Structure 1
């Protein structure tokens, strides 16, 4: 490895002499080093990170996910270092697949069904709605909601007056749960496709047992906004995100989809 980044000795030995590129994720305090054959994720230590690594190890052999190579903590800096393998393929939001909507939706449907096929009886993490609403309440009470980042119709004259009103509605209108293994952030950049097959899943920080419609909603919205130019610069005017439901062989539950869209506005 080349560069002036301080690493734990075990991690340093595994990447010694390797070239990398660095990527800082969004507004978060996460640094990602991309090597040819592995990825190093560096972030502040947390219990959630420990839970995610435990889950990743549980998923090995069940799903195409990054393999944990090493996981270390620096007690001085309070940083955690996760070295993992790369999944194969390219992001499903790549122009190649966005230009082939039926093929893309078929791949995504297969990815969802693969998640749902995993036996969840001993899954180490459950993400229930009560916990999500408690977290949402904390965010609302501490003014952590960016209403300007919400969907245009969520707040305002034809929507909710404010995040408090939205939270009250969510609390009073909880849907029934259809528990499956949920990726938790099933957006196109987190699903890789390798030619004609699924390459793998990345970014597993919110993976666990949850309602299957959470991932369906996230996938549908990601398709919609990658196609209409909201996320990314190119517009795919002929793209119909409803093809996802056709590929899944199900009728859309618009009530649940709306509920989870609104819940996600508080995160």
Structure 2
């Protein structure tokens, strides 16, 4: 994932969805999907169909999670034969990997850890209709033609069952100007699972985004001691597929 240049070509569908608003490209994923910010406080996410997680599912999960946690409001969602799109309201704040926060990596990492704990504490497991369990992730990979290593079928016992974000990497936490976590985005994989499935990915993502040496700080900010067995397992599962 990366921040696209200002000269990035705007897909025709995005222009239609913008309804005359000015567009600023803010994110590009590995599949060629793009996210644009409009000058009337919306975000437009557009990209090719993704077998792993689609925007229809993301919209449904955002509407559900919004009952208890700060996530953007879904304004529109749709798809055609080749692409899908999602339009949401903007939440005042910056991604934890915005240049403003990359300049203060320790503050950003702490905020992501604190924000993840807030999300886990807010969302009710009993009312969540989706899973992000090990079994569901194996099934998802098989649908995409990916064979995960058999050794990963033996997962550690669940420490605490929560509603996981499903992609708790640093960019998906928004911070206010004081550096406090205020919202989460990119919830297409949200579902119940062991909290370490999220903690492992969030802490691992600190190295991708701000460099080595920050993973334990994120775990400390979340409020637990490092569980090395679960960290290794869930990082291996993430990297495998």
- Please tell me the TM-score bracket, short chain as reference: 0.7 to 0.9
1:51 corresponds in structure 2 to 57
1:258 corresponds in structure 2 to 232
Contact 1:89 1:195 in 2 (8 A): yes
Using the alignment, how far apart are the partners of 1:133 and 1:30 within structure 2? 24
**Secondary structure at 1:242 match in 2:** helix
Contact 2:201 2:238 in 1 (8 A): no
The TM-score with structure 2 as length reference comes to: 0.80
Are 1:90 and 2:91 an aligned pair? no
Count of residue correspondences:
227
Using the alignment, how far apart are the partners of 1:41 and 1:203 within structure 2? 10
2:4 corresponds in structure 1 to none
Q: 2:151 aligns with which of 153, 169, 177?
A: 169
Q: Any idea what the Cα deviations from partners look like across 1:220-264, whole Å, max 9, x if unmatched?
A: 1111333337xxxxxxxxx54312232233211100000011111
1:184 corresponds in structure 2 to 166
**Secondary structure at 2:149 match in 1:** helix
1:208 corresponds in structure 2 to 191
Q: Any idea what the Cα deviations from partners look like across 1:174-223, whole Å, max 9, x if unmatched?
A: 11123211111111111111122223211112122121001111111111
Tell me the CA shift for residue 45 of structure 1: 5.2
Q: Any idea what the Cα deviations from partners look like across 1:38-67, whole Å, max 9, x if unmatched?
A: 111223457843222111111224222121
Are 1:222 and 2:205 an aligned pair? yes
Judged with a 3 Å threshold, the aligned counterparts in structure 2 of structure 1 residues 192 and 138 are, in CA distance, closer, same or farther, namely same
Using the alignment, how far apart are the partners of 1:70 and 1:127 within structure 2? 25
**Secondary structure at 2:129 match in 1:** coil
Structure 1 residue runs without a partner (length 5+):
145-163, 230-238
1:132 corresponds in structure 2 to 137
Tell me the CA shift for residue 96 of structure 1: 4.4
Are 1:109 and 2:83 an aligned pair? no
Q: 2:19 aligns with which of 16, 20, 25?
A: 16
- From the CA coordinates, give the structure whose radius of gyration is larger: 1
The TM-score with structure 1 as length reference comes to: 0.73
**Secondary structure at 2:126 match in 1:** coil
Tell me the CA shift for residue 95 of structure 1: 4.8
Contact 1:55 1:124 in 2 (8 A): no
Contact 2:63 2:74 in 1 (8 A): yes
Using the alignment, how far apart are the partners of 2:130 and 2:197 within structure 1? 16
